[in-house]
C-alpha cells in the first residue's frame, strides 16, 4: 500500500507544495515547528533514508539545499536545520526547519496552528 507521502507526491492527497522534480517532492509540514517547516521526500518509496541508493541520497541533499536557501531567504532565520526522524511516517524524509536557537528544533514543543490561507501564503513565498 502506498504511503501517505507517496500519495502526496502523486497529488492524491493535498499538500502545500514547495518544489518538485522527477525524483523528489517538497511540501510544508502540516504540524510545523516554525513557519516554513518543510519536508523533502524521494518519490521512490523507501522507509529509511540511508536505505536510498547513493545517487538518490546525494540528489535529495542537493534538492534540499536549494529549498533551504529559499526558506532562509523567506524567514530570515540564522540557518535552516536539517533533521531526520522518521518516527511517524515510514517514507524517507528530511525536515527543513528555520532556526535561530536550539529550542526551535525541539520536536516535543507545541506545533504552530496555521490556517489554510497562512500555509498557502508561506508555500507561495518559498516556492517563487
Catalytic residues: 93
- β strands within the chain, DSSP E: 17-20, 24-28, 38-42, 79-83, 94-99
d(CA 65, CA 48): 20
Cell 536505505, residue?
51
Comparison of 55 and 102: residue with beta carbon closer to ligand AMP:
102
Cα–Cα distance list, 27 to 18, 53, 102, 108 (Å):
5, 22, 23, 21
DSSP-derived letter for residue 111 is P
Comparison of 55 and 106: residue with beta carbon closer to ligand AMP:
106
The CB-of-87 to ligand AMP minimum distance in angstroms stands at 4
The CB-of-106 to ligand AMP minimum distance in angstroms stands at 13
Q: Under a CB-based contact definition with an 8 Å cutoff, are residues 125 and 98 in contact?
A: no
The CB-of-54 to ligand AMP minimum distance in angstroms stands at 22
Q: Which residues bind ligand AMP (CB under 6 A)?
A: 4, 13, 15, 29-31, 39, 85-89, 93
Comparison of 19 and 55: residue with beta carbon closer to ligand AMP:
19
Comparison of 55 and 113: residue with beta carbon closer to ligand AMP:
113
Q: Name the CA radius of gyration of the chain, rounded.
A: 14
The CB-of-28 to ligand AMP minimum distance in angstroms stands at 7
Amino acid at each position: 500500500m502506498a504511503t501517505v507521502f507517496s500519495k502526496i507526491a502523486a497529488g492524491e492527497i493535498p499538500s502545500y507544495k514547495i518544489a518538485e522534480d522527477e525524483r523528489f517532492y517538497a511540501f510544508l509540514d502540516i504540524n510545523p515547528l516554525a513557519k516554513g517547516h518543510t519536508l523533502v521526500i524521494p518519490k521512490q518509496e523507501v522507509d529509511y533514508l540511508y536505505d536510498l541508493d547513493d545517487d538518490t541520497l546525494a540528489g535529495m541533499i542537493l534538492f534540499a539545499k536549494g529549498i533551504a536557501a529559499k526558506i532562509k531567504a523567506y524567514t530570515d532565520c540564522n540557518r535552516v536545520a536539517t533533521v531526520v526522524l522518521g518516527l511517524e511516517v515510514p517514507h524517507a524524509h528530511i525536515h527543513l526547519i528555520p532556526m535561530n536557537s536550539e529550542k526551535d528544533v525541539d520536536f516535543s514543543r507545541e506545533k504552530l496552528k496555521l490556517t489554510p490561507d497562512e500555509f498557502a501564503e508561506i508555500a507561495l513565498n518559498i516556492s517563487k
